Chain A
Amino acid sequence: MKNYWHSVVLEKDYCTGCTHCLDRCPTQAIRIVEGKAQIIEERCIDCGECLRVCPYHAKGALVSNLDILKNYKYTVALPAVSFYGQFPEEYAMNTIYNGLLDLGFDEVYDTAHAAELLSVYESEVLDKEKLNKPLISTYCPVITRLIQIKYPALIDNIIKLEAPMEISARHVRKRLISEGYNDADIGIIYITPCPAKVTSIKDPIGINKSNIDEAVSTEEIYYKIMKIIDKIVPSKQIQTATGKGIGWARVGGQSYAMGIEDYIAVDGIDEVIKVLESMELGKLSSLDFFEGYACVNGCVGGPLNVENTFIGKNRIRKLTKLYGMDEPITIDIDLIPENMEWYTPIEPMPIFKLDKDFKVALEKMAKIEEFTQMLPGINCGACGAPNCRVLAEDVVNGFARIENCIFLNKNRGW
């Protein structure tokens, strides 16, 4: 069995066993067992919905903190594209990037520039090849994982391109090694808006190993920058992206940068699920491209960001204008598959299957139906499962007992 690495974790001390997260989880990966939430690892897609709704902040994301800088001889910061939308508008992005140097990084690479290069490459791929339409963006890793576990028939629609952070990291690492640095001495650190990207670094899809070493949260960096912000003296020109790259931080920015006509850009995991359902039915084959985001408003809405998502979105819109949507893009990374694409296949992960053996699966299914009929169907969550049917499944799989249902208990007078 594959070991799953997850960024979303539960801090048990804070969990009260309330059922807020149960119902929010799009893959039904949470159960309350003995008064505490538990995450079923193989089901979790690291979307961070539970993290967002937990009233007790008992859900966290495994990220590193800035102390890790001392583990490397040369460190490079890769701020997420949505980092652009986090700071008050009076501070220029180049100043903030220079502030990262003050925090101890040796170099900062503008990930939004990698995003715009990817836009150029991506639109070439789209024009050139007869691929399954609509092509599905891999930018939000939650959506790729959701397709692996729930919509395997759509795997062939996924456009197997790397994320801007990974393109940046590949490029920077190659350059540093050619300049004489030891691979092990280089620390490439992503500043992340969400737990899903951390998982993409530790347990990537489409590649064997990420070129990024660690991830720290936008939150941590934000507060450290704000403390020194008035003292930053910009010494270097680090900011290089045009509006096309910066736009990737919000919904639709990717498609816009690529200049596609027939696309839809969808945000919020529930809405994405609805669209994938239709796509599986072949309803959307007139579209060329689909970008979906687990978070409302896209990456600016990431749970590890600081700024209100709508404010962030508005700032990104203004910044795309400021840095120019029609400015020429400097092609300083070769637009070849080696730099831009995934090289390992995307495997389906059919976690919902009841059994490998078809006959056993059928028997289990019959029992699930039987138990579901017995249960009250009000999906209260008091048993610890998100709804009655899931409890029935858990009972049949031996993970729970039907007596966990408080209504059945009441009726039997236990």
Chain B
Amino acid sequence: MKSYYKNDENVAMKLHYDVVRDDFSRAGEASSKIKMMLRQLAIDANIQRRIAIATYEAEINLVIHSYGGSIDVFIKPDCIEVYIEDVGPGIENVERAMSKGFSTATNVAREMGFGAGMGLPNMEKVCDTFVIESTLNVGTQIKMVVNY
């Protein structure tokens, strides 16, 4: 079982963003900034797109489910690593949360068009390595790696 840890080796650039709970109007801002940066760094279009999807879904999850959290992006010579950490209720059954269409989003979130139960599955689909660890009533940590 791969476990969650932040690998600080060989980081060429670090990006850090805090995400506030229930702030729907700003949801998506961090991931869109990340995308713009990758574009300027001339990272391959397909990798840009995968990271954009991974960070966007994670950001939305932080807004909907957590009490607040952060996104860290480590740009490395051979890959991009994304670390998501939050303080929150945690996920009761990670396996079930990873299945398509399963969602615990509130009605408010659903009314805003979120909570289709595709966030985690999409995140897993676009990365080469996906690690998720969650502790009930403490929070959730996710590591996603996309190799060049």
Contacts and interface: CB of A to CB of B under 8 A. Distances in A.
Interface of A: 150, 152-153, 155, 277, 280-282, 348, 350, 352-356, 358-359, 361-362, 365-366, 368, 393
B14 to A, nearest CB: 10
Given A153-B49, A277-B32, A280-B49, A356 B41 contact: no
A264 to B, nearest CB: 15
B40 interface: yes
Given A281-B56, A366-B13, A150 B37 contact: no
Contact of A365 (B32, B37, B52): B37
Main secondary structure of the interface of A (DSSP, over half): helix
A277 B49 CA distance: 10
Interface of B: 12-13, 32, 35-37, 39-42, 45-46, 48-49, 52-53, 56, 75, 77, 122
Contact of B46 (A153, A281, A356, A361): A153
A358 B78 CA distance: 11
Contact of B42 (A150, A280, A354): A354
Given A281-B56, A282-B53, A358 B45 contact: no
A365 B12 CA distance: 11
A361 B40 contact: yes
Contacts of B42: 350, 353-356, 358, 361
Nearest to A356: B42
Nearest to B77: A358
A354 B122 CA distance: 30
Given A359-B12, A365-B41, 17 more contacts: A150-B39, A152-B45, A153-B46, A153-B48, A155-B45, A280-B52, A282-B53, A354-B41, A354-B42, A358-B41, A358-B42, A358-B77, A361-B40, A361-B41, A361-B42, A365-B13, A366-B13
B45 to A, nearest CB: 4
B40 A354 contact: yes
A153 B77 CA distance: 21
Nearest to A389: B36
Contacts of A348: 45
A353 B122 CA distance: 27
